[in-house]
A and B are shown apart, each in its own frame.
Chain A
């Protein structure tokens, strides 16, 4: 039993890393779609007030919005496309 759980954990760990490598190389092959202002505005309204007060797009500079958008992608479980759309909206509205 002890041995079995040990193997299960190690398999899970290995699977995570293998999945990570496979998925990241698969992405490199696919060209990503760039951000869209209109879709971004909608995604921003939908998502950016879920956990905290909505932050004004004017509060941050274009570059500051990049890392914030990626930070929020992780927090909110946004897709990469939603993140690029929201970023395009924020950078076009500040």
Chain B
């Protein structure tokens, strides 16, 4: 009997011990599950944050050898892009540009800075300083890792034939149309200004001016169609309004009487297997203004076509480009043929070797050829 009793006590003791063990195991498991839950929740925070800060951008470094000058190393621009996004409804985008000049001094500028409201699935309101939506090169090809050549086509640089930036309001978006995608951008802005010297218009400046000096807005936009089966992008652009000659007297700007201003443009991108074809035409023109210090009307016109062929498992690209730039000032006119070879360290890190054959088509004027080496990085 005593023996039986002690066996029973032992068995009960063991059972209690085992039970206690099972309870701690379950508690441990529960704690682990809770911990995992928390980890999943914090990982999900990264996937769907309410406020998001993001840094992107691009930069380039290089070497330029101009025919009549000694070769020189140079840094291109360093252009960080900042994104601050609130939910799926608001985004601030800003691109800064840091560039170093011949004397080694650096300056910073705002390439664009807008607050974008995503109004619905087909339209966003973009307000602030934005890259001109006219054409493709200035807004979409200028980053060094996107441009397949180390320089812009003639006429498509800052303050040349292609409109650069605008301060104003823009509505842009897209909508599907039976297998084709339509996209559009329409804006109203302060417009460019004209710079004159010795009775002639020197350039049409469109850096995105922060004051509408002539009191007349410029409005316009681009309408594009994308055919996904053909991988073909087509676009037309137009803008109209008034501009005026701006002069600096002392520390203040003064403006001549406004005159007509119109822009026309067309662009395409076409991919056939690894062949990438693109081209663009643009023309900015202003009317005559008898009361102005530079009274004549004028037109600044440029176009380019480019073919890039990818080979070697998408590691290499051979590129050819032709561009023309025609202005009321003979010394600025250019015809340019260019050949280049690119090595893609990655899709966003590109080494370029290019040769520019430059020519001024006007009698008695010349332009130097250049060899350009560039390493571009988009991040």
Contact = CB atoms under 8 A, between A and B. Distances in A.
B54 interface: yes
Nearest to B131: A75
A67 B82 CA distance: 10
Interface in B228-246: 228, 231, 233
Given A23-B119, A70-B91, A71-B83, A49 B183 contact: no
Interface stretch (B10-18, B174-182, B195-203, B298-306): B174-182
**Interface size classification for chain A:** 35 or more
Contact of B145 (A50, A52, A59, A78): A52
Contact of B121 (A49, A50, A59, A80): A80
Interface in B59-100: 81, 83, 85, 88-89, 91, 93
A27 B378 CA distance: 34
Contacts of B228: 46-47
Interface in B112-130: 116-126
A12 B121 contact: no
A82 B226 CA distance: 14
Nearest to A23: B119
Given A13-B169, A51-B140, A79 B125 contact: no
B139 interface: yes
Contacts of A56: 347
B174 A78 contact: yes
Contacts of A23: 119-120, 123
Interface stretch (B28-36, B45-53, B326-334, B351-359): B45-53
B216 interface: yes
A32 B52 contact: no
A56 B347 CA distance: 8
Contacts of B216: 5, 9
B285 interface: no
A16 B188 contact: yes
B52 A63 contact: yes
A20 B56 CA distance: 28
A50 B233 contact: yes
A80 B120 CA distance: 7
Most chain A CB neighbours (cut-off 10 Å) among B54, B185, B217: B54
A61 B46 contact: yes
Given A74-B172, A76-B174, A79-B175, A55 B120 contact: no
A73 B124 contact: yes
Nearest to B225: A77
Interface in A9-54: 9, 12-13, 16-17, 19-20, 23-24, 26-27, 30, 32, 46-47, 49-54
B184 interface: yes
Given A51-B140, A56-B347, A91-B47, 7 more contacts: A20-B125, A24-B119, A32-B121, A46-B228, A62-B46, A67-B91, A68-B56
Top 10 closest A-B pairs, CB basis? Answer: A77-B183, A80-B121, A77-B174, A53-B347, A27-B120, A67-B54, A67-B83, A46-B228, A24-B119, A52-B146
